Chains A and B, each alone.
Chain A
Amino acid sequence: MPSEENHQEKKLDLAAARKRLEATTGREYWSSLDDLASTPEFLDLLGREFPRQAIGWSEDESPVEGRRNFLKLMGASLALGGLAACTRQPTEHITPYVKQPEELIPGRPLFYATSMTLSGVAHGVLAESHEGRPTKIEGNPEHPGSLGAADARMQASVLDLYDPDRLRNVFYQGEIRSWGDFYTMLREVLAERAGEQGAGIHILTETVTSPTLADQLQKVQKLYPAVKWHQWEPAGAHSARAGAAQAFGQPVNTYYDLAAANVIVSLDADFLAQGPGALRYARQFSARRRVRGDQTAMNRLYVVEPLPTPTGSKADHRIPLRAGEVEEFAWALATALGVVNGPKSGENGVIYQSVGPIARDLQAHTGACLVIAGEYQPPIVHALAHAMNASLGNAGKTVFYTDPIEANPADQLASLMDLVSALDAGSVDLLLILGGNPAFNAPVELGMRDRLRKARIRAHLSSIADETSEVCQWQLPETHFLETWGDARAFDGTVSLQQPLIEPLYQSRSVLQVVNMLTDSPLLSPYDLVKGYWAAQHKGADFEQWWRRSVHDGVIAQTALPTKTPVVRGDALGSPAAPRPLGGNLEVIFRPDPAVYDGRFANNGWLQEWPKPITKLSWDNAVIMSPADAKRFDAVPVDSLDYGMTGVPMLELTYQGRTLRAPVFVQPGHANGAVTLHLGYGRTAAGKIGTGQGFNPYGLRTAKALWHDTGLEVKKTSGTYYLAVGQNQHVLDTRRHIYRSADIEEFKRNPEAPHEGAEAPPRDLTLYPEFSYNGYAWGMAIDLTACTGCGACVTACQAENNIAVVGKDQVRRGRNMQWLRVDSYYNGDPNNPRMGNQPVPCMQCENAPCELVCPVQATTHSAEGLNDMVYNRCVGTRYCSNNCPYKVRRFNFYLFQDWETPTLKLVRNPDVSVRSRGVMEKCTYCVQRINAAKIDAERADRKVREGDIQTACQATCPTEAIIFGDINDPNSRVAKMKAEKLNYAMLADLNTRPRTTYLASLRNPNPELEA
């Protein structure tokens, strides 16, 4: 290991990076700044199986050295490895049902449609149930917002159900109480306050779209008109709401049809990965970029944004702008379109140079283009987007307006402020906080944590005893969405039903039940509440049948809100505000975290360990800034190679007199002059996993600047911090055409263009006789044009295959266990690179290097072309991993699986072995799904049909980038994809003949802007 002193000298050499850039041909991608600079350390890493530090012993480990230690370990391994097999099977018991449910066949999973709600918006899911325990989430194909896909949070939500840290009982000041006690208290307060119509009673919720809950709340307000209902959602669509009000004079809900859009401009909107309709948009967007055979038409995407997002990575033109400059860009674009009369030039020349061609491109596609404003951009940007879409004739074609999906589309900040003034006035007798975590995530200057104490009685309904629960006398356990009935609206207003798969594990209740306690109706079950509401809504005599149909589908048909055509008011836009200069400081940008969102998923191990899109950072947030800014603040990592082991400098951020210390993360493509802080970290009471991870940007976030503001001072401090970053682990040599791409025009002229410079040996260049695959031959094709790098596949794989969470320290050492990784690649200028995402599962090579070196035949070749991994044979030599050119094998260095916690046993997939320490593992192409489909087909005496098998990554992929199937069947989707000119095998020159191949990425740049 290099010594400490050396680190200081190994500062990242940007000059060297530039030199390499100049020498490259333009098609060459790089994976990190170290790669670009070709540092000796990086070149060393290329040749390694794991980063150097992975080969160690304990916490502060150094590599195991010396012959004696080696022999001791070998001897012990041999002895223990051999002895472990000499056990008798322990006696097991079978407990059959007393009365077996009719539809259930033991050993076969059942799927139920239900919905997961995030920020009030429903996402349709299918939950897989094994003998009554939900184990896996898939997207619901019947749901308009899902179309069968699921994102990482949906995938990981099932782990939250089994979180051992969940609140299990009702607590009153630390003592276990019953719901009956709480109800008695509630009725007493209501009786006291009945005379004043319930004054003094305040309810605080997050965004509510649930029709049933809205109805319940209305009933409460009817009974007690003075009861106040407040809403606060830290990462809610506040600006979109205000922007619509500004443009149309009324709140509207906006959604898009990307299938009809040829040209799309994103004003800092990560519409492909975040937000209510993202899964649908991603599906529609990528379908318009699929170049197959003669179909060579592609849509075009322009993105302006500060931090590279999955959407930005797909852009044909991406302009890194500070979040504050997006407004200026929107004005400039609107001016170029003739919508407003704004400035035609300004300090930032890039804006004014690019708006002309973009405007012309939009105008050439009136009615078939789209301007999307980012959820976190100020209202004026939304208003401008509405005006531009109106002027381009897009309303009703690519952009649709409906009434708001929220039950009460109030200004949530104002609503929170109302509560604050009531608290200050001492007039809050009872405060019911139903979900949410205001003590943690309200604007910092409100000091909510202390202010909440001004309410006389405080009750908090939440799944974990969090920061807010700590200041409440009553802590009420909340049910998980898989435990209870409910409903909510999707992005277009479609009502999605939430159906439980399991009885509540603990003494928890849903928000519906708690609100029900406030009404004068008897205490009803959530089922009766939801069904009762819809029985009253449904017209017609066939309610039961209609209800069963709706529950089965997970959506209530024809409940999408009717579209309307609001008109942009003439005086809505006003005139542009003067750009706010940075004045030597930086801009601070707050965004919900891609993994833990506003902090609510902080205790979810799968999401914490999930490498976030583009940055590949896990377990932490950081001060994300551009390479140029990092240099300016002398914050280039001490030794940028392998963040995990060598540490990065700590920065001190000062904004409005408040400071935050956090580590730096240098992100190529980040806008200069701005730093991005992801919210949701720095929790102090999140549970065992989430508490203490990362830094809390809520500590800087004020009501005045919820999303961005200028005036951030940055200072480098002496500290060093260790981040767990996946990008510099499992690295491949980018000089060998790992990631291939071309522009569409170039590809049309020369279909070989993406493969320029790459070579593959002829198929007969082998001494071994060709093996013929007569039956099935499983293969996979991954379309890099479609892949947005959203990372849902990684979590889907983790859930499906019982993959262990290893913790931050182990991830730092490159020991993360995820079988699938999504690598980020960059091309060109580090300040504004083109980006590429590449999912890398096991390649299932036909000439697999791993198989040849296994001394115990624990990895062998199946007759259908899979590289089988036999865990029970593996003795952990790691030779296979050492010999794998794709670095896709994962080794259980320790006992990473939790074999003890009872609830975590419930989340496991019974069809996949749970691996123990000392065992190698890797992607199996979801062999359990292959076998299940094969068995079903063979029982019916037929062949497996196209679509019978979907690997977990494929099933969840919003863009259908991953396609799996039988390559022996020329009509299969995968065989057709592999026949495309774009198809290539990674590291084909090694003659490994991978079964997983890629379709090179295509882009459709605007020739006017290319020059």
Chain B
Amino acid sequence: MSVVTCSRGAALAIAADVRAGRRSAVSVVTGVIADMEIRDTRFNSVTRILGAAAVAQAEEVDRAVAAGKDPGPLAGVPFGVKDLFDVRGEVTTAGSIVLRDNLPATADATVVARLRAAGAVPVATLNMDEFAYGFSTENAHSGTTRNPHDPARLAGGSSGGSAASVAAGMLPFTLGSDTNGSIRVPSSLCGVWGLKPTYGQMPLKGVYPFVASLDVVGPMASTVEDLQAVYSIMAGAPPLALPDVGDVRVARLGGWFASNISPELTAGIDAVMAHLGRDRVIELPEVARARASAFLISAAEGGNLHLPRLRRRAMQYDPATRGRLMAGAMLPAATFVQAQRFRRWFREQVHAALAQADVFIAPATVGVAPRIDQPTITLDGKTVSARANLGIFTQPISLTGLPVLAAPLAGDGLPLGIQLIGRPGGEDRLFAVAGELQRAGLARCQPLDAGYARKDSGC
């Protein structure tokens, strides 16, 4: 499929065609919308199609091209946003009917505005766990998003619609948010590239919050090149200059991160380490408590955020979210403060480990996507809820705020993903390693049927 072999990336290929006048932005956008209307009936990744507004913006891009003006580096590239990013003229629901009577957003979220200014066109809002509180994208209001690689299985969450729409080949890139793993888990289960940037790096203006201590937004895409390009624009930064991958010190995380994972995932990480010529293993201390801290901070801050509404109209909430938020709202201050103090302690341990390596490699999930009719995973021999536990390897890293790039391992079976974990502000090293894994064929995204590239493009 041309989209995965194109050296400049699917989104960048569309932009090159639009900029050169080989394709019109309107034809790209209308084609993508038609494709979503037909194929998303299988996946339920889209919650709203922004038809009229998207076509109007695409017409602006085409006018700019016709007038000889620069239409931007992502000219005419369609994209979707998790339904917690403000898109001007639309109500931001955060995946809930609780907010459905809010007024439409009067402005785009900052990162959406930056992408729009670069010529990209938001065409859809995408499904999610209600208020981003879950790892499965099972939503009582908007339904369950299905995994394009096996619609009987979960897409993961909470940015499940964002991952599934890329995996299905309906969109070349999307935006998600990640508090405890909500970009990394669905990226891995759907087999797409995803980035959780360094905590605090991306502007969150216009993004519906969940846990202020942990929230980050980032892109998901079908190629590393697209992921990098979109990341730079979202960050409002110039394109990254990447280091030589041979200069990047890579180590795998052992202990907690080597337990409970499938043999295929272990073999995949073995192959990655062998290819990179590295064999160092690092064990972080007290990972279970790091996960517990992230869990408790999330519950407390999320519960507090929603407490006023829970007092008045609790029954409007998704039952699976409501119970967790109520429990979190009641969490004693002593527990919350202890979790925040532990975070400080854990930061010091992680920074000590970062003296030995620039990038840690760890699994993103324990294995492939769970079945929808059996939404469980096995941990230490016990069967536990997937919705609450799919983030077993992502939550401890969330606590640190480190940047993480989710890489889809190449393989013949259902998707498996790994985390490339960097030092603060070390996204350049993550992209260097990711690019090498893609080039070597050890990691790749294989969209089902890239409708947006069907025309043509000559890449």
A binds B: no
Q: Which residues of A contact B (CB under 8 A)?
A: none
